[in-house]
Structures are given as structure tokens and as C-alpha cells.
Chains A and B, each alone.
Chain A
Amino acid sequence: MSVPHALLGLLEREPHHGYDLKRLFDAYFAPDRPLAYAQVYSTLARMEGRGQVRLEGVERVDGPDRRRFAITTDGHLELERWLSEPLVPEPHLQAALFTKVVLAILSGRPVEPLVDAERHAHLERMRELTAIRRAGALQVALLADYCLFHLEADLRWLDVTAARVDELRAQILTVKEDR
């Protein structure tokens, strides 16, 4: 799961406090596994260190200070890179794939190129594994099969998601963002 990229995607839309980011992150990307506040703040600190976000202001409401963060040019570039480059195909990419699809929708980017790039990368890996299993002994073939089935499952999920992207877009864009 790429928490930094998800946060960059949220900050690309508008600057946010850590508190908002946590709420939005949970709503969009991880309804079943809410993020700890501490992780949001430590991730933001690391991203600030890398120059991907900057502190835009500090506000005091009635409680602790709220630090508002904004994305930087380097942050934009990193988000672009991550969205356009396919993931390294390996089993259990679900969370990262899901984050990419949701971020593409949230930012108004087309989903199909992303799906095609991931499909291509997955199929490349699956070709390698197919060649290995065709050449190898049964135990090699069965190990390759484990990866092949998982990669295939990812692709099926991507296909189903791509087929329902309009529906998903409509639902995602109605998630309440008021604080």
C-alpha cells in the first residue's frame, strides 16, 4: 500500500490538514483499515523531508495547532510518475492497484491507460512465468502457477473495475468532504 502516494493525490486537489487527510484517506482508500494519525504525521514529515509537500500554514482552532500541507512541484512529479508507471507485478497488489484507480478518478485522469499499463506489465511477468513453467519440472511449474493465478486474479479485478469505472466515479465523487 502506498500511503505517501495516496496522500499526494489528496493534496494535489487542495491543501489539507493531517486530520483531514486521515479522514479522506480512510473514506477513499481504506474503509476497512483506517490509518493511524501517527502514521499520517510521520508520512507527511518524511514527504516534507523529500520536498514533496510543504507546510502551508498553521491554524489554531480550539485545541492543538493544525498544520496545513500543500503539494510541491516535486510532489506532483512523483505522483505522475507513480500513476503512469505500472507496479512491479507480484501477488497481492490489491491495495496499491485500488489506490491508483481511485486517485485517477479523483483527479479526473482517464482510468483506461492505467489499466492497460498494468495489464501489460502483468502479462509480461506472466509470459516469463509461463516460459519458466513450460521448461521446468513439475515443482517449478506449480510454484509458477501460484504466481500466475494471483496475477491473473489482479487482472480480473482490474477488468471488472475498468468495466464499472463510471459507476465507481459517480459514487466516489459523492463522498462527503466537508469537515
Chain B
Amino acid sequence: MGPSGSGKSTLLHCLAGILPPDGGSVTFDGARIDDLGEGDRSRLRRTAFGFVFQFGQLVPELSALENVSLPLLLNGVRRSVAEAAAAEWFPRLGLDGMERRRPGEMSGGQSQRVAVARALVTEPSVVFADEPTGALDTIAGEQVMELLTSAAARQNASVLLVTHEARVAAFAQREIVVRDGRVSGSAR
């Protein structure tokens, strides 16, 4: 949490190996990742990490099912296997029967639930979520958080969540406050 412009997204991007930090180091599973080459970092992101952003992360030309299976395809999983794994998500998402819809044919809340499935389908260790409910109303936002936290817990994945909404933050087990580009001293 922290004011707009305080550096929450920047910190998240550094931790996720998207952005190399100017100083300091990022360690994952006991090994530094900030000094890896782009190829290794990108492989790490595809296999060990999942991502959910505020909106616009689904490929508009692909169906919901294809969007969820995409990360598996990128990891070399056969299409039939990937789509079968993706299909299992739809009842859990509350989107039974919407597998063939494109993002433009779904509500914002439905799209975000598809994005959560896409982030978790590779069974990552960490899901990075930057304002995943930022574009949603209260109830749709709650459904996304409910899904994200329960699915992550079931897979034993950690979630690093950026949000400015306290009700959303209350789904997390602890909070870190960022202020003026620094983690606040009293973070617990």
C-alpha cells in the first residue's frame, strides 16, 4: 500500500524480475534473480511467477479458454493438454459456459477472473497482482480477491498484492507500506 507515485508498481516489477533495480538485490528461492540475463528472468517469470494487472492483460483476439491456456503453451505444454487444464478452471471461476467468449464479450469482473486463472494455471510459486480490483466495483472486486486468495492458497502460492483499497488489502496476511520510493520503517 502507499500513495500514488510512491513506487509500489516499481517495487513489484523489481521483485518480479521485470525491472532491474538500480541498487540492492532480489532473491528468490535462495538465489539472486536481479543479475540474471533477460532470457533467464523471462523463463523464471513464465514458470515460477504469475501476474494479474488492473486490466488489459488478456489477448483480445483469443477466447477466454485460449487466454488461460496460453501460459502453458508458452511453456511447451501440448495444446490439448493445456486446454484441458484451462477448462477445469471455468466452473471455479463461476464462468461455466463462457470458455469461447472473447475478452470484449465479458464484463470487467469476468475478465479479471479469467486473468486470475491465467496467472495460476502454471502453478507458480508467487503471483504478483498490481491493483487487480482497481477497475471493478465492490462485489466484482471481492469475487476476484476471493478467487485469487483461495486458489493461491490451494496451490500453496504466495500473493504479492498492490492495492490502495483497505478492504482488498484485508485479504492479505500482512501489509507493507511504501512511501517516497521506500518501504516504510514501521512495516511489519
Contacts and interface: CB of A to CB of B under 8 A. Distances in A.
14 contacts: A113-B185, A116-B177, A119-B166, A119-B175, A119-B177, A122-B166, A126-B166, A126-B170, A127-B172, A148-B167, A152-B167, A156-B166, A162-B3, A163-B3
Nearest to B2: A159
B96 interface: no
A64 B87 CA distance: 84
B3 A159 contact: yes
A151 B166 contact: yes
Contacts of A119: 1, 166, 175, 177
B173 interface: yes
A130 interface: yes
Interface string A113-136: 100110110110011011000100
Given A119-B177, A120-B175, A148 B170 contact: yes
B173 A127 contact: yes
Contacts of A159: 3, 164
Nearest to B175: A123
Interface residues of B, number: 20
Nearest to A133: B142
Interface SS of B by simple majority: loop
A82 interface: no
Interface SS of A by simple majority: helix
Interface of A: 112-113, 116-117, 119-120, 122-123, 126-127, 129-130, 134, 148-149, 151-152, 155-156, 159, 162-163
B169 interface: yes
Interface in B168-188: 169-173, 175, 177, 179, 184-188
Nearest to A162: B3
A155 B173 CA distance: 17
Contacts of A112: 179, 184, 186
B166 A152 contact: yes
Contacts of B185: 113
B146 interface: yes
A23 B184 CA distance: 36
Contacts of A129: 170
For the complex of A and B, 6 pairs with smallest distance between CB atoms: A126-B170, A116-B186, A152-B166, A130-B170, A155-B166, A127-B170
Contacts of A155: 166
Contacts of A117: 186
A53 to B, nearest CB: 31
B165 interface: yes
Contacts of B172: 127
A117 B186 CA distance: 8
B175 A134 contact: no
Given A116-B184, A119-B177, 15 more contacts: A112-B179, A112-B186, A116-B177, A117-B186, A120-B188, A123-B169, A126-B170, A127-B170, A129-B170, A130-B170, A148-B167, A149-B167, A152-B165, A155-B166, A159-B3
